[in-house]
Amino acid sequence: MAHRLGRNQYGKAETRVVRIVRDSDRHDIRDLNVSTSLRGDFADAHIRGDQAQVLPTDTQKNTAFAYAKLHGVDSIESYAIALGQRLLEACPAATSAQVSVEEYAWDRIGDHSFVRRGGGVRTAVVTSGRGRRHVLSGVKDLVLLNSTDSEFKGFLTDEFTTLPETDDRILATSLVATWRHTGADSRTDVDWNASYDAAVATLLGAFAGTYSRALQETLFAMGDALLEAQPELAEVRLSAPNRHHHLVDFSGFRVDGLTNDGEVFVATDRPYGLIEAEVTRDGAPPAGDAWLAVPGFC
């Protein structure tokens, strides 16, 4: 019985392209998830294993990065049009190129600091005992990014250390912060909404306003600022995965004059460093079993 090859396509899915525009001290960010696919006469690749007409998916990925610099990202539509046209030029066997782009929007909180649009997820855990109540307020999935003013150097090394030192990097995280109120068992006049809004504003301000020599330093600065701003809080716990952004290496691209001067990055979500810390007010009443219901860092 004869069989024939039906419709087929191939490409590179979900290339995380982050473009930082550094034309001035006030940076801009375009954060993209790019998928490309080519359709056409690729029967030889499927039936005979002949790759002569196949543009590698790795090349498609590299082109997505390069065009973020060469074409720019004024809009995801114009970027996708330019990228698709380039892929057709590079792969004569393709009859069509499909480029799908998702853009993650960010709101500015400083000249080079941003929070993912939509903010985080508000959380609350209340533990009520007989004669005692604990209230934990918080936020999770608060995605933050500084495009500069972050370094990481002078760290301990051994024979397995390959991480290079850097004095200028992207610092990004998806923050989980939880803070414990004091006197919650007796107070009835707490404006919980105002307290939450002020707490998030304080955390954002500290993140944007702290020159970071490590994510640990940033976390302590955020917790310290929150306790300073709200005397009724006893402690704050912070958990921050380090969302790594790696500078894309353009040195292997055969394009004259194409350099990557801290402008195009690949965002990765695993593995990641997980930095966690607790900042506690001196003399604060004990938490009791307030934290037992809170998963994760304790």
One digit per residue, the tens of pLDDT, for the chain of length 298 reads: 689 999 999 999 999 999 999 999 999 999 999 999 999 999 999 999 999 999 999 999 999 999 999 999 999 999 999 999 999 999 999 999 999 999 999 999 999 999 999 999 999 998 877 777 889 999 999 999 999 999 999 999 999 999 999 999 999 999 999 999 987 655 667 899 999 999 999 999 999 999 999 999 999 999 999 999 999 999 999 999 999 999 999 999 999 999 999 999 999 989 999 999 999 999 988 888 888 867 666 5
Q: Quote the tokens at residue 278.
A: 């607790």
pLDDT for the residue 190 = 85
Q: Which active-site residues does the annotation give? A: 12, 57, 244
- Cβ atoms 18, 32 nearer than 8 A: yes
What pLDDT was estimated at residue 185? 59
Cis? peptide before 56, omega within 30° of 0: no
Residue 1 confidence (pLDDT): 64
Contacts of 79 (CB under 8 A, 6+ apart): 32, 67, 68, 71, 72, 73, 101
Backbone angles phi, psi at 95, to 5 degrees: -95, -20
Residue range(s) occupied by CATH 3.30.1130.10 in the chain:
9-104
By the 8 A CB rule, do 215 and 173 touch?
A: yes
pLDDT at 184: 64
Superfamily of domain 110-160+168-244+254-280 in CATH is Urate Oxidase; (3.10.270.10)
Give 71-80's long-range contacts (Cβ < 8 A, gap of 24+). Answer: 72/19, 73/19, 73/30, 73/32, 76/30, 76/32, 76/101, 76/103, 79/32
pLDDT of residue 296: 65
pLDDT of residue 134: 85
Measure the CA–CA gap between 232 and 85, rounded to whole angstroms.
Answer: 59
Where are the domain boundaries for CATH 3.10.270.10 in the chain? 110-160+168-244+254-280
**Topology of domain 9-104, CATH:** GTP Cyclohydrolase I, domain 2 (3.30.1130)
Both tokens of 35, joined, read 């998928």
Q: Give the distance between the most distant pair of CA atoms in the chain.
A: 83
Q: Which is nearest to 122 in space by CA: 108, 136, 133? A: 136
| pLDDT attached to residue 298 | 53
CA distance linking residue 100 with residue 102, whole number of Å? 7
Q: Which helix (H) or strand (E) holds 202?
A: helix 192-209
Question: What is residue 86's three-state secondary structure?
Answer: helix
**Cβ contact 9:37 at 8 Å:** yes
**pLDDT at position 93, please?**
96
**DSSP-assigned letters across all residues of 41-54:** --HHHHHT---TTP
Q: Is 21 exposed, middle or buried (0-12, 13-18, 19+ CB in 10 A)?
A: middle
Strand order in the sheet with 245-247: 94-104, 28-40, 9-21, 264-267, 245-247
Specify the DSSP element, H or E, that contains 181. strand 171-181
